[in-house]
Structure formats: C-alpha cells, structure tokens
Chain A
Amino acid sequence: MSRSEIALEVKDLRTTLFMRDGNVDVVRGISFRVKEGETLALVGESGCGKTLTALSVIRLLPDPPARVTQGQVLLAGEDIRHVPEHEMRSLRGDAISMVFQEPLTSLDPVFTIGDQITEAITAHRKVSRQEARTLAAEILREVQIPSPEQRLKDYPHQLSGGMRQRVMIAMALVLDPKVLIADEPTTALDVTIQAQILDLIRAEQERRRLAVLLITHNLAVVSQVADRVAVMYAGEIVEEAPASELFANPRHPYTQGLLSSIPSAAGDRKHLYTIPGRVPDPRALPPACLFAPRCPYAINRCWNEHPGLVATDGHLLRCWNPQPFTALQAVEPGRVDPSVAASE
C-alpha cells in the first residue's frame, strides 16, 4: 500500500475531556487508515467515542472541555493535528468535509440553500457570486435534487428530510474533498430514504475516489456501504476487519453481541439478544479487558490484564479468549447472570 493512497490516517489518537472533577480519556489511543475510494465504518453504541473521534480528526471538538491530547492525524500524509487554526479552517470543507446526523438543524434556518452552498465555495475559492451560484446548482443536480435552480431559493424548512441530507452532502462535496466524514448520516431519516442516501454516498465515493469515514451504530448501514469496519468499545477499537470478513467471522464477543442483537426475519422472534450490563464509566477504568464485565466468555486473564490489539491476516482483535461465532442466545428475563448484575 503506497503512502499516497492513504487519504486519512489516525495514529494513537487520544482525546480527553477536562472536567472539574477530573480528566477523562474518551478516545483512548485509536489508530486507523482510510484509503482513497474506501469506506471505513466506525461502529459502536452511543457514548463509545466514535463521534468524538470524528470531531478530533476535523478539529471541531467542543473545547472546553474536550481536547486531543496525543497522537497524529495525517491528511494525505501530512500531520494536521498541530497546524494553526487558520490553516485548519482552509482544509475544512475543502480537503476534508463532514456530514452530520440531523440535516434540519445542521442547516441555518434563516439562509437559503443557495446562500449556504455558495458561502462554502467562496470561503475557499476566489470566484464571483454568480460562478459560485452556478457551481451550487450543478452540485445539487449531481446529488439528484430536482429543479436545482429553484431549490437554491428555498429555505431549509421547505425541503423534506431526505432532500436536506442531499443538500448537506452536496455542500460537503462541492469543493471535491479527499475525505468525507459522515456522522450517522441516515439515522434521522426513514428507512427508504436511508437507502437512497447511502446509494448516493456510495455513488459519489466511486466517482470521486473519496475516502469515507462512516460513523454509525447501525450494522445494517455498515453492511450496505462499508469496505472495512472498526468496532469501538469504551473509546478503543476492539476489532477491525474487512466488512465481509467481519460479518462472516466476528471474533470479539462485543461484535458477536452486536450481530446477535440484530432482529432477523428467520430467527427466534420471541427474544432478542441484548448485551448485558452497560458501557463502563470512563472515569474508573480497571486495568483489565473493558468488556469483561459484560462478556459471556471472560476468563481470569480478562479481569487482570488489558488486551492489546493484535493482527492476524488483516483482522485486528483485542481479546484474550476469542470464541467462534454462534449467534448468542437471548437471555430470558429473570435469568440474568448474578455475577453480571452485581458488577453493574
């Protein structure tokens, strides 16, 4: 893999929340690479640090309280973690763009779609308003918005949710970035629209050779678009593999749990598997496997030693006691393992 193919690389990234009652590492030494034309999905439940990872990359962390305290963020091989803010600003929206979860609230309600796209252009390029407007109409046509010239005059509230997300994507792509971060881009949309938006992202990615960092908790979305998947748990990556490999052969008990908790048309309709317990409190992490309290396979070592991320055939895993995947069985109510319940 040549260096130039890697559009985005994150090395040993640590993000810390500086709170009054102590500092908390919410992203704990994460590393990943996204190649041109590739989609890396960052998967995990709420609060695992996936959005903070994305905001650390594009340097839009709410500061205070959050700050990147360690590691490197390489955009096309160049470290952007320490570039001055004005340089970072010129990269945002140009070399690296971001699409957010909620397309209505991510657009300024008092400006037209046209104004909001053209200002993204004029912030980075010396073009006339008219040229910017033409570019804006073109990009709207490209993301399949009907009668784009008319839509330029619309306000965000006049468009449907799916159209708004198309506008957000258009705005993110108008300057032809190398990297697109999509933070739960379909979560706020209904299912049929979700599929259209994912198709659109996929199509634009192929056309532009975009590197996409897709952040989601939805494994169905992941299976549709991701080339590789990194599963995050409590601020760490616990497993990373090509998507097909991960879905066929999940090795981490957490990944297995996530896959077992997807409702399937064929499976047992009565009880859905739920991973017992909850995400550990990041303020008091033990020197052990962070998943051990919720893990059905935890052995002694898991309680005493923090496992490292180990690669075998391009499949990264952070686990002392991996077991072959058999869909985990739903626990009947009242049959919760007392040791798990006690550890909560």
Chain B
Amino acid sequence: MASYLARRTGYMLLILLISSVVIFYALRSAPGGPSGGGVLSPLSSQEVRQAYEKRLGLDQPVYTQYFIYLGHLARGDLGTSLVNGSPIVELLATHARNSLVLGLTALLISYVIAIPLGVLAAVKRNTWIDQLAMGGAILGMGIPNFWLALILVYFFSLRLGWLPSAGCCDPPQLIMPALVLAAEGTAVTMRMTRSSMLEHLRDDFVRALRAKGLPEWEVIIRHVLRNALIPVISLTGLRLGWLVGYALIVETIFRWPGVGYLLVDSVLRRDYPVAQFFSLLLIFFVLIANWLADIGYGLANPRIRVA
C-alpha cells in the first residue's frame, strides 16, 4: 500500500509539472495580452505597451518567465491579478470557498437523490418506479447542462419568479446552479447504483443472509447496498473531474463567483497569473479527487485493502 501511494503521488506531481508547462505556453500563445486592468487600451502607444510588458517581465522568453514563476510559487508567492491587482491568495480564499459550497451542495443533492432512487429502482425492478427513475436518468444524462440552466432560469426566475436568476451567495441563489451541476452526475450515479444493486442482489450471499433470518431491509441496505456502492464510490473520482469542468459553464451562466467563473474571466482578460494558478489548482483538484477515490475504494472493499 505504501509503495502504491508513493507511486500514485509521483505520477500526480509529474502530471502537475507537465500541465503547468502546457498551460504557461498555451496562455501566452493566445492572441492579445493583458490590458493591465485599464492601464492599457487599444490606443496606447507602442512605448507604453513595451514599458508595461517590461515591468511585468513579459518581454523575457517564455521559458525564463516560467522558471521565474516556479521560483515564486516555491517561495509561496502566488502573485497578483494583472486586472485589479488583488493578491491571488485573497481571490483563492473567496472563490474557492464559493466553488466548494456549490460543488459540495451539488454532490450532496446528487447522492441524496441518486442512491435511494437507484436502490428503489433495483428492488422494484421493471415496475413504474423503476421506469420513472430510469426515464429521469436518461433526461439527466441527455440534457446539456447549459440548456438545462436556461430552462430553469426561464421557468423559475422569469415565469414564476421564485428564484433569482443569478448571483451569490444566499441559499436561494445556490439552488439552481447546484441542481444544474448535479443533474448529470445524479443520473449516472443512479444508473450505476441500480445496475450494481441488481448485480449484487443475484449474489449467493443474499440468499444465505435471508436464510439467517435477517430482516429484508438489513439484507438490502446493510449488505447489498454496501457491496453495490464500491463502483459508485470509484465513480466519485470521475464525477469530481466532471464537476470541475461543468463548474466553468454553470458558474459563468449563473454568475456564481467561484473558481470556474474566475478562471473563464481571467483567461478572457489574459490575466496570466490568475489563469495559470487557477487552472493548475483545478488540475490538482481532479488529481486529488482520483487519488481519494482510490483510497475510498480500498476502504469500502477489504479485498483491495489487503492486496
């Protein structure tokens, strides 16, 4: 287990290093450059522009900039935004918190809906409950989340006026983005729970448990579900990855000031330090999520733990 963890951690660092190079070069090869938060305009003279770039070190070769950046990171200096000069540490504090609130709410919603419905659909297989749940799952997987977002805004904000269409950070403003972010994951998790339950309901031990005289709910929830959750847990790692990707879209649509919103905004404004740092942060998050999913898988499945 220790060598396995060491190897996984090594891969993680390698991927981070490679992605940092890719991000650094990709950002700088995009057309345009930082506008200095209004210091520069399309009408600024060539001299002013050059002076600005020289001050920021943007006139240096990209690899030199890269090593300077790495040096700063190593000293714990995350830099400041080129747009408004706010330290990235502060941006991190507020935006990461907002994203975490949104992401965790979405995860919570999806598991609270998906697991009970998946179990119910499996136990009541081929009944209307099963068909309704699976029909819902197909919708959840099929509807693109940006479209779902627009539909929800149209009905709940414009038509019914029940929920604010965008903004942060009160609970009513959280509901729609969290639902949209949860939709696809809920559908996939529900289907996964159902098929995994059906698979384990056929296991020999289910009959043996009934032969011991256990109550049916204990057989289903304590034993079958526990076995069925193993693939659902390992799916969580993947789901966190999707969540990060969808957060860019959902946060932008609902103007939810999270990491995804900030990242999209900073890329559009060529705010290199912010875009660099937050894309690396999201990659790091996805890697950590997968890493945790592996550990969680081991915890849920004793056969892996010992091996």
Chain B: minimal CB distance from A51 (Å): 11
* Total contacts A-B at CB 8 Å: 78
Tell me if A171 and B212 are in contact (CB < 8 A). Answer: yes
Contact B212 A123 (CB under 8 A): yes
How close is A335's CB to chain B, nearest CB, in angstroms? 42
Interface size on B, as a range, is 20 to 34
Contact flags (1/0) for B209-252 with A, using CB distance below 8 Å?
11111111010001100110010000000000000000000000
B156 at the interface (CB under 8 A from A): no
Q: Is the CB of B214 within 8 A of A123?
A: yes
Q: In the complex, which residues of chain A have a beta carbon less than 8 angstroms from the beta carbon of B214?
A: 89, 93, 119-120, 123
Residue A297 lies at the interface, judged by CB distance under 8 Å to chain B: no
Determine the distance from Cα of A107 to Cα of B213 in the docked complex, in whole angstroms: 14
Q: A119-B218, A158-B306 are in contact. Are A107 and B211 (CB under 8 A)?
A: no
Q: Is B203 an interface residue (CB 8 A)?
A: yes
Residues from chain B with Cβ under 8 Å of A106 in the complex: 204-205, 207-208
* Stretch in A70-78, A97-105, A299-307 touching the partner: A97-105
The answer to whether A60 and B207 touch (CB under 8 A), given A109-B227, A123-B213, A124-B213, is yes
**A155 contacts partner chain B, Cβ-Cβ < 8 Å:** yes
Q: Are B223 and A111 in contact (CB under 8 A)?
A: yes
- Interface presence of A90 (CB below 8 A): yes
Min Cβ gap A211→B in Å is: 16
Question: Out of A91, A105, A108, which one reaches B213, CB within 8 Å?
Answer: A91
Majority secondary structure of chain B interface residues (helix, strand, loop or mixed) = helix
Q: Is the CB of B210 within 8 A of A155?
A: no
B303 at interface by CB-CB < 8 Å:
yes
Tell me, in angstroms, the Cα distance from A109 to B209 when the chains sit together. Answer: 12
The answer on a CB contact under 8 Å between A123 and B218 is yes
**How far, in angstroms, from A123 to B212 measured CA to CA in the complex?**
8
Cβ–Cβ contact B204 & A105, under 8 A: yes
* Shortest beta-carbon distance from B189 to chain A in Å: 19
User: Is A137 located at the chain interface by the 8 A CB criterion?
Assistant: no
Given contacts A155-B302, A157-B303, contact A110 B226 (CB under 8 A): yes
B301 at interface, CB cutoff 8 A: yes
CA distance A185 to B174 in the complex (A): 58
For residue B302, which residues in chain A have a CB less than 8 angstroms away from its CB?
Answer: 109-110, 155, 157
Contact B301 A110 (CB under 8 A): yes
Whole-angstrom distance from the CB of B6 to the nearest CB of chain A? 25
Instruction: Please measure, in the bound complex, the distance between the C-alpha atom of A128 and the C-alpha atom of B295, giving whole angstroms.
Output: 32
B205-A93 in contact (CB<8A): no
A187 CB to nearest B CB, Å: 13
Question: Quick check: B223 and A108 within 8 Å, CB to CB?
Answer: yes
Q: Which of A89, A92, A155, A168 contacts B303 (CB 8 A)?
A: A155
Q: Which residues of chain B have C-beta atoms less than 8 A from A8's C-beta?
A: none
The contact sample of 20 A-B pairs, CB cut-off 8 A, is A58-B211, A60-B207, A89-B216, A90-B213, A92-B212, A93-B211, A93-B212, A93-B213, A100-B207, A100-B208, A105-B203, A106-B205, A107-B205, A107-B208, A110-B226, A110-B230, A110-B301, A119-B212, A123-B218, A157-B303
